[in-house]
Amino acid sequence: MTNEKLQQHFNQHVFKMEQEEYTRDEIDWSYVEFVDNQDVLDLIEKKPGGIIALLDEACMFPKSTHETFAQKMYQTYKSHKRFSKPKLARTAFTINHYAGDVTYQADYFLDKNKDYVVAEHQALLNSSRCSFVANLFPPLPEESSKQSKFSSIGTRFKVCHIGAKSLF
């Protein structure tokens, strides 16, 4: 997801905005084709409907397994052009990223997504005098922490990406 975000940022600033500026300034130039990867980002992080949202949902049901999570993805994304199920796969899935196809194994996705950050550890990091360390794990927005006590690793990763946008 991080590479996709960086690629989107690059595309937005180098291709899209520059070409819009050339058009505005009436500069003679040739249009440069580029692949917009927003559909990959939506596949991964859109709420509702993205892989992280499906993973969070699966983590809230005690009877969910890696196989049921994979089956839910196969069913949900069967017609998505960036998602595919490898032949004979039980839990594997492939995402067509901007740089090419990557096949993932859904085994242990649920376990890893249920990992949590201990509140005391987060408080200790956030109180650091070093701004880099203090911002490594930003607190979740107030409204999401009130809605549910479950805070997945995937959701926290998304929040970190939102905060990282301010660095650009």
Q: Which residue has the higher pLDDT, 81 or 1?
A: 81
Residue 83 token pair: 């998602």
> What is the spatial distance between Cα 143 and Cα 146, in angstroms, rounded to a whole number?
5
pLDDT, one tens digit per residue, over 11-52 is 888 888 888 999 999 999 888 888 889 999 999 999 889 999
DSSP-assigned letter for residue 15: I
Contact 57, 71 (CB under 8 A): no
CATH class (in words) of the domain with range 37-116+151-167: mainly alpha
Confidence of residue 140 (pLDDT cuts 50, 70, 90): low
- Residues contacting 98, CB < 8 A, separation 6+: 3, 4, 7, 35, 37, 40
- Residues contacting 110, CB < 8 A, separation 6+: 55, 58, 59, 64, 65, 66, 69
Torsion sign (Cα): 105, 107, 110, 112: negative
> What is the spatial distance between Cα 51 and Cα 106, in angstroms, rounded to a whole number?
11
pLDDT, one tens digit per residue, over 57-109 is 999 888 999 999 999 999 999 999 999 999 999 999 999 998 899 999 999 89
> What is the spatial distance between Cα 39 and Cα 106, in angstroms, rounded to a whole number?
21
Asked whether the whole model's pTM tops 0.85, one would answer: no
- Residues contacting 148, CB < 8 A, separation 6+: none
